[in-house]
Structure 1
Amino acid sequence: MNFDFERDHQRCLDKLIWATRQLNINTTERDLSKIAELIVQAMTGRWRSFHTPDHIFEVGGSDNPIEVLAALFHDLVYVQVDQSVHFNLTFYITPFVREFRENLYIRDREDLGNDPMFDLVMEVFGFTPSQQLSPFGGQNEFLSALVAVKVLESFIPPSLILQIIACIEATIPFRPHKDGVSPAARLHERLIAVNESFQLGLSPEELVEAVRQSVRMANRDVGSFANPNPKIFLDGTWDLLPETNHNLRFTNSYTVNQYRVALQKMEGFMNFLKPDLVFQDYAGEPNAETYQSLLTRAGKNLETARLYLGSKLFTIALLEALSQRFGRNIPLSTIMGELNPEGLNVGKLEDFLPDISNNYPPQNSLEEDVFELLEKGRYSASSYDLKNSPLTTLMVKIMGFERIQQLHDNAKEFFEGKLDGESFLAVCDPMVVEIITNSLIKLFDNRKAALMRAS
């Protein structure tokens, strides 16, 4: 992804200046410029495609200075995406965290020294010395909050820092209720304890409001799940895929298997999610009507994503099975044709697919939405994948969504090695297998003809 460092730095600086002025914080523009540089460098790492400067500006909103500041810091550390902690951030982290056998741990109490602000961060998150940090249990948010505290503590009072940390903690995603208590309610309990033990002087009403603003920011962090347009929601999903599947960055060399694994992980994630794991509410934030609307739209988007991803996953299973007839690590571009071939007139598999009538028209609004997504494409183009899905569209026309879903278990057995490629192809619709095989032959003949012309 291409970033404009100067533009993003200026936008970040503008946010910092506005927020500190709103909070009556005295600091220099030069110091804020250094902070903006730290933030933007971390947010524009090589593997970032969704968790970028645009994301943090959107998550912060424009009305609440605490939320604006928290959002600027909340995704600084993302170990799964960056494959490490950005070098410039280690200065703030290593006094408190160590690495052992590729896992991160909070240092032992005797090695931490006396740092009340670090203790404050631990208590807000409910973490303890010597604890192993989990990538899916708040590791990135905790480390991002730690950086925020160490950067801001010299000029922002602890009572405001507490509220910033609370906002970052609330962005730990997809947490269920425990013993009937929501993550936001548990955060409120910890804030009460921290406010008392650190004598920060926040009133009960201010502590409730701290949680409400945390929930507000956290809901914006996952706001794409409630986008009224499923095409835009899936755009975000496709931006996420290369962040944790780095092979997809190499557009014309990632293999059929690598693409399938990326889709398979995302499909599994979407099947796990439920709307009430995505969005939070607390003390009337958001109001009941808005919250229900968020849940309803998220439910629809998740349902759309499951059918869309499941259909595409079945397609890639069939392609993977066919590709095993001539190799084990075949680039997807070998089968589908290159993306963005820089002006070269190269053939693509879709050029040789027959135009057939739809034997299985959509049976409901969900199938209508997904069929349109497959046939016409997601909202925006992707650098590593087709916007539309001509091959899956063909399969749906011949087999229908219901039959494709029925064969999901067979596809999973193939992925797990319980079913070989030929056995999987044998349970697929023979017409589909024949059409794709013949289209591949025509594609390869086209390449052969081009090679012969060149010689």
Structure 2
Amino acid sequence: MDSAKAYQKCLKRLTWATESLKLEISQSKLEHITDLIVQPMTGPWRFFHTPQHIFEVGGSKDPIEVLAALFHDLVYVQVDWSIHFNVGYYISPFTKEINGHLTIRSQSDLPADTIFEIVTSVFGFVPGQVLNPYAGQNEFLSALVAAKVLEPFAGAPLLMQIVACIEATIPFRSACEKGLTASEQLLERLKFTTQKFYLLVTDAELCETIKRGVRVANRDVSSFAHPSAARFLANTWNLLPETNHNLSATGAYTVADYRLAIQKMEGFMASLKPEVIFRCFQDEPRRHTYNIFEYYAKRNIEIAQLYLKAKLVTIALIEAISFTIGLDIPLVIMMGEVPLRGFTFMRLEHFLPEVANPYEIKNNIEQEVWNLLKFGRAKSNYSDLQHSPIATFIVKLIGFNGIQNQCDLAKQFFLGNISSEEFIASFENALAEKIIYALQELFESRKIAVSHCYKFTSNRKTQHH
């Protein structure tokens, strides 16, 4: 979705939501707020957290949910590497950077501001607190912008509900020591905030706010419950260049750049518990629906874990071999170019031999991963090759048990506990030798291509004389 379409759709959503809530906002102000939202969301590093994402997260039925979703990803420091200047205007009076960390200003350094105090109360944050990028920093700052932007038009009770829905999108939280879920803890803070600031909101309305937050939060992570693992992984792949900016320069990033991105994603998936992905509160969502969410999340994570191990083993072997050439070798040198329309590039897989007795698939998860490796993920915004021919070849030779074993060795290789030579030698079935031979053939094909260019220039010189 281009910026112009995103702007028009955002303005339409914003107008509908504010009119539904009977907020009196002029057209020029609505346009200003739309600009404020769309500009950061269409930044150069946004591949997943885009305007399309916030439209999906907001749904189309509840205006509070729509408003919360429009603002919830406005600040994403580890993706954008900064805070957009226009957004910073609303944040800087309340936060500052100390030793590279965003921090809420100390009590003596804060302006008297009730709305800011409501936001911090909803989040359970305090003056002087160092913000954690992985524990609510972005959601807190986004909620603060939402509250300050809408403050001239909305009362404190409504702002608190919007802020609560944004707080609910802090992902992957387990129950606290008391056994309370994130939603139950949020309800406690909302009750405290309502009493502290004398907000006229009933307990029933607070419970409804929690349900709104649950719906927003569940839509935010809805791809985990996609029935298609290929689609789930396509969304996952959109996250890679957001936090690994080198990958956005197609054809320029190194083997190590790509390996590090896969390694981080594999580590994340390996540690992720399916039960902390989706949220429920009272009858939202209904138990049957929640069980479906949890079933697909568990299945998709299991598939992703094995898929990423296969990808990681593959790139680890390529990286180990690349050390014979240098330390910062572009991935396209080792693998060949990503296919482009109108161009015919020879890639590494073209030189791999047929496997006489390939590994036999053992179960449904292996079958899913095999299909993803051989035929590819669904199309994503990131222009990486969708299928994985080298990983497919490796699985044919050593199977998924071999992938598991080699993944453990790969991690030892990354840590420097074993050498690149030791890692290469650890593969069975002469696998490394077959990859190395294919690389030699790839390099030879490039040599031949360049020699044709030399012959062409030589002929031109002969004709000229």
Instruction: Within 5 Å, give how 1:105-254 maps onto structure 2.
Output: 105-179=103-177, 180-254=179-253
Question: How many angstroms apart in 1 are the aligned matches of 2:10 and 2:356?
Answer: 52
Give the Å deviation of 1:354.
Answer: 2.1
Amino acid at match of 1:268: G
Question: How many angstroms apart in 1 are the aligned matches of 2:392 and 2:220?
Answer: 32
| Matched residue, 1:261 | 260
| Matched residue, 1:297 | 296
User: Tell me, what secondary structure is at the counterpart of 2:103?
Assistant: strand
Question: How many angstroms apart in 2 are the aligned matches of 1:68 and 1:325?
Answer: 54
TM-score of the two chains, using structure 1 as the length reference: 0.98
Give the Å deviation of 1:357.
Answer: 4.4
Preserved CA contact (<8 Å) 2:397 2:429: no
What RMSD, in angstroms, separates the aligned Cα atoms of the two structures?
Answer: 1.1
Give the Å deviation of 1:359.
Answer: 2.1
Give the Å deviation of 1:355.
Answer: 3.0
| Matched residue, 2:459 | none
Does residue 98 (structure 1) correspond to residue 96 (structure 2)? The answer is: yes
TM-score of the two chains, using structure 2 as the length reference: 0.96
Give the Å deviation of 1:289.
Answer: 1.0
Identity of counterpart residues, as a percentage? 50
Give the Å deviation of 1:432.
Answer: 1.3
Give the Å deviation of 1:350.
Answer: 1.6
The unaligned stretches of length 5 or more in structure 2 are: 455-465
Task: Name the stretch that deviates more: 118-127 or 20-29.
Answer: 20-29
Question: How many angstroms apart in 1 are the aligned matches of 2:356 and 2:159?
Answer: 62
Question: How many angstroms apart in 2 are the aligned matches of 1:31 and 1:357?
Answer: 68
| Matched residue, 1:400 | 399
Task: Name the stretch that deviates more: 443-452 or 333-342.
Answer: 333-342
Amino acid at match of 1:150: K
Q: 1:264 to 1:26 in 2, by over 3 A?
A: same
Give the Å deviation of 1:341.
Answer: 5.1
| Matched residue, 1:348 | 347
Preserved CA contact (<8 Å) 1:12 1:40: yes
| Matched residue, 1:362 | 361
Give the Å deviation of 1:325.
Answer: 1.2
Preserved CA contact (<8 Å) 1:252 1:338: yes
Does residue 19 (structure 1) correspond to residue 17 (structure 2)? The answer is: yes
Preserved CA contact (<8 Å) 1:251 1:383: no
| Matched residue, 1:449 | 448
Q: Over residues 193-239 of structure 1, what are the superposed CA-to-partner deviations in whole Å (9 max), with x where a residue is unaligned?
A: 11111111111100111001101110100010000100000001100
| Matched residue, 1:333 | 332
Amino acid at match of 2:45: W
Match of 1:50 among 39, 48, 52: 48
Question: How many angstroms apart in 2 are the aligned matches of 1:337 and 1:359?
Answer: 25
Question: How many angstroms apart in 2 are the aligned matches of 1:223 and 1:383?
Answer: 19
| Matched residue, 2:463 | none
Task: Name the stretch that deviates more: 333-342 or 64-73.
Answer: 333-342
Q: Over residues 93-118 of structure 1, what are the superposed CA-to-partner deviations in whole Å (9 max), with x where a residue is unaligned?
A: 00000011111110111111210000
Amino acid at match of 2:74: L
Q: Over residues 173-202 of structure 1, what are the superposed CA-to-partner deviations in whole Å (9 max), with x where a residue is unaligned?
A: 111111211110000000001111111111
Question: How many angstroms apart in 2 are the aligned matches of 1:62 and 1:384?
Answer: 31
Preserved CA contact (<8 Å) 1:5 1:40: yes
The unaligned stretches of length 5 or more in structure 1 are: none
Preserved CA contact (<8 Å) 1:248 1:384: no
Question: How many angstroms apart in 2 are the aligned matches of 1:325 and 1:302?
Answer: 35
Give the Å deviation of 1:345.
Answer: 3.0
User: Tell me, what secondary structure is at the counterpart of 1:407?
Assistant: helix
Preserved CA contact (<8 Å) 1:15 1:68: yes
Does residue 439 (structure 1) correspond to residue 438 (structure 2)? The answer is: yes
Question: How many angstroms apart in 2 are the aligned matches of 1:355 and 1:271?
Answer: 32
User: Tell me, what secondary structure is at the counterpart of 1:105?
Assistant: strand
Preserved CA contact (<8 Å) 1:122 1:128: yes
Give the Å deviation of 1:344.
Answer: 3.7
Q: 1:358 to 1:151 in 2, by over 3 A?
A: farther
Give the Å deviation of 1:343.
Answer: 3.6
Does residue 380 (structure 1) correspond to residue 379 (structure 2)? The answer is: yes
Preserved CA contact (<8 Å) 1:170 1:214: yes
Equivalent pairs counted in the alignment come to 453
Preserved CA contact (<8 Å) 1:81 1:243: yes
Give the Å deviation of 1:346.
Answer: 2.6
| Matched residue, 2:458 | none
Amino acid at match of 2:54: I
